[in-house]
C-alpha cells in the first residue's frame, strides 16, 4: 500500500511538471501569435504567464522584451533582454535588439557595446554596422561612423537608413553633394521617410539649389504636416528667393507649432523689414536674439532697432 502511495505521488508530481511545461508552452505559442498580429499588450500578458510557469525560459523573456520595445517601453524591454542574456548568453538577436533600445535612449556607448557583441557573433549583419555607425556619428566620431556605415551598405544595399546616416556624416563634413547622393539612394529605397527629404533639402539649400530644396520641403509637409522645421526651412527658402509674403506665411505656421523657433523669428523679421514693417521686424529680431540666434543682433542693430 505504501509503495502504491509513493508511486501515485511520483506520478502526480510528474504529471504536474508535464502540465506546467505544457501550459508554459501554450502561453508562449499564444504570445508569439499575438506578437505577430501586433497585439503587443496581449503578447506581454501571455509571456507573463509563460514565465510564471517556466521562469528559466530565455526565449520568453526575449520575446516579451520585443513586445515591450514595440510599445516604446525601452527600459522594460532592456530588463527582459538582460534576463534573457543571463539565462542564455551569446544569442545575436538579443544583443542587437538591446543595442537598439540603448540607441533610442541615446545611451550610445552602451549601444556600441551591444553592437560590438552582435557583430562578433554575426560579422556580416549590415544593420549592426549601421546603428554602430549612427552611434559613432552622434558621439562625433565621424571617421569611425563613415567606416561603419560604408560597411553596412557593403553588407546590405537595401537598408535605406544606412545611406541616411552616412549622409549625415557627409553633411557634417560640408560635403553637400555627397550628402544628396546618399539621400537620393535612401529615398529610392524608402520614399516615405520625411527625414530623408529634410536633410536633402538642407544640402540643396546650402548649394543654393532653391527649387530643389523647395521640392524637398514640400514633400515633407505632404508626409508630416506637423513637422515645424519644414515650414521654417521652406520659409527660409522663400526668403532667399525674395518671396516675402510666402516666407512670412510659412514662418507664422512654424511659430504656431514651435513658439521658440529662433530661425523663424529671425527670417520673419528680415522679411518684414523688406516689406517696410519695421516695428514687426524689430520685434521679431529682438525675440530671435533673445532665443540665441547668432546673426540677429547684427541685423537688429543694422535696422536701427531700439
Q: Is 246 among the domain residues? A: no
Q: N- to C-terminal Cα distance for the chain?
A: 106
Q: Which region among 20-24, 108-112, 262-266 has the lowest average model confidence (pLDDT)? A: 20-24
Q: What is the pLDDT of residue 23?
A: 87
Q: Is 50 among the domain residues? A: yes
Q: At 208, is the secondary structure helix, strand, or coil?
A: coil
Same-domain status, 51 and 96: no
Question: In the listed set 87, 107, 133, which residue is the last one of a domain according to the structure?
Answer: 87
Does 11 score more than 90 pLDDT? Answer: no
Q: Is 241 among the domain residues? A: no
Same-domain status, 80 and 103: no
- The C-alpha cell 508511486 sits at 7
User: Which whole-number Å values give the CA distances from 31 to 50, 60, 78, 163, 166, in the listed order?
Assistant: 9, 9, 19, 35, 37
Question: In the listed set 138, 157, 176, which residue is the last one of a domain according to the structure?
Answer: 157
Could you give the percent of the chain with pLDDT greater than 90? 91
Domains held by the chain: number:
2
Q: Which region among 12-26, 32-46, 148-162, 241-255 has the lowest average model confidence (pLDDT)? A: 12-26
138 lies in which domain range?
A: 90-157
Q: Is 56 among the domain residues? A: yes
Q: Is 98 among the domain residues? A: yes
State the average pLDDT for the chain: 93
Per-residue pLDDT reduced to its tens digit, 209-254: 999 999 999 999 999 999 999 999 999 999 999 999 999 999 999 9
Does 64 score more than 50 pLDDT? Answer: yes
pTM summary value: 0.89
Question: In the listed set 140, 157, 174, which residue is the last one of a domain according to the structure?
Answer: 157
Q: Is 268 among the domain residues? A: no
Same-domain status, 102 and 140: yes
Q: Is 166 among the domain residues? A: no
Residue 6: CA count within 13 A, CB half-sphere: 3
CATH number of the domain to which 116 belongs: 1.25.40.10
Q: What is the pLDDT of residue 306?
A: 86
Q: What is the pLDDT of residue 22?
A: 59
pLDDT mean over 40-48: 95
**Contact by Cβ (8 Å): 47, 77:** no
Q: What is the pLDDT of residue 31?
A: 87
Same-domain status, 82 and 98: no
Could you give the percent of the chain with pLDDT greater than 70? 93
Amino acid at each position: 500500500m505504501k509503495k502504491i502511495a509513493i508511486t501515485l505521488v511520483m506520478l502526480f508530481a510528474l504529471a504536474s511538471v508535464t502540465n506546467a511545461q505544457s501550459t508554459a508552452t501554450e502561453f508562449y505559442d499564444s504570445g508569439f501569435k499575438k506578437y505577430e498580429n501586433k497585439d503587443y499588450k496581449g503578447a506581454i500578458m501571455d509571456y507573463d504567464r509563460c514565465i510564471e510557469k517556466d521562469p528559466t525560459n530565455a526565449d520568453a523573456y526575449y520575446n516579451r522584451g520585443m513586445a515591450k520595445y514595440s510599445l516604446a517601453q525601452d527600459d522594460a524591454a532592456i530588463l527582459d533582454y538582460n534576463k534573457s542574456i543571463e539565462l542564455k548568453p551569446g544569442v545575436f538577436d538579443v544583443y542587437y535588439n538591446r543595442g537598439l533600445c540603448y540607441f533610442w535612449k541615446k545611451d550610445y556607448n552602451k549601444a556600441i557595446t551591444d553592437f560590438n557583441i552582435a557583430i562578433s557573433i554575426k560579422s556580416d549583419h549590415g544593420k549592426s554596422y549601421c546603428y554602430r555607425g549612427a552611434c559613432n556619428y552622434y558621439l562625433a566620431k565621424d571617421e569611425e561612423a563613415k567606416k561603419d556605415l560604408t560597411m553596412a551598405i557593403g553588407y546590405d544595399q537595401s537598408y535605406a537608413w544606412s545611406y541616411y546616416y552616412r549622409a549625415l556624416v557627409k553633411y557634417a563634413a560640408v560635403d553637400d553633394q555627397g550628402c544628396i547622393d546618399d539621400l537620393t539612394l535612401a529615398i529610392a529605397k524608402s520614399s516615405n521617410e520625411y527625414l530623408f527629404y529634410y536633410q536633402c533639402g538642407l544640402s540643396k539649400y546650402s548649394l543654393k539649389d532653391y527649387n530643389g530644396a523647395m521640392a524637398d520641403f514640400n514633400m515633407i509637409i505632404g508626409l508630416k504636416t506637423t513637422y515645424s522645421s519644414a515650414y521654417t526651412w521652406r520659409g527660409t527658402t522663400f526668403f532667399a528667393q525674395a518671396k516675402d509674403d510666402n516666407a512670412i506665411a510659412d514662418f507664422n505656421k512654424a511659430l504656431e507649432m514651435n513658439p521658440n523657433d529662433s530661425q523663424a523669428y529671425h527670417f520673419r523679421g528680415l522679411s518684414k523689414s523688406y516689406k517696410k514693417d519695421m516695428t514687426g521686424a524689430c520685434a521679431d529680431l529682438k525675440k530671435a536674439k533673445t532665443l540665441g540666434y547668432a546673426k540677429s543682433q547684427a541685423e537688429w542693430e543694422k535696422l536701427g532697432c531700439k
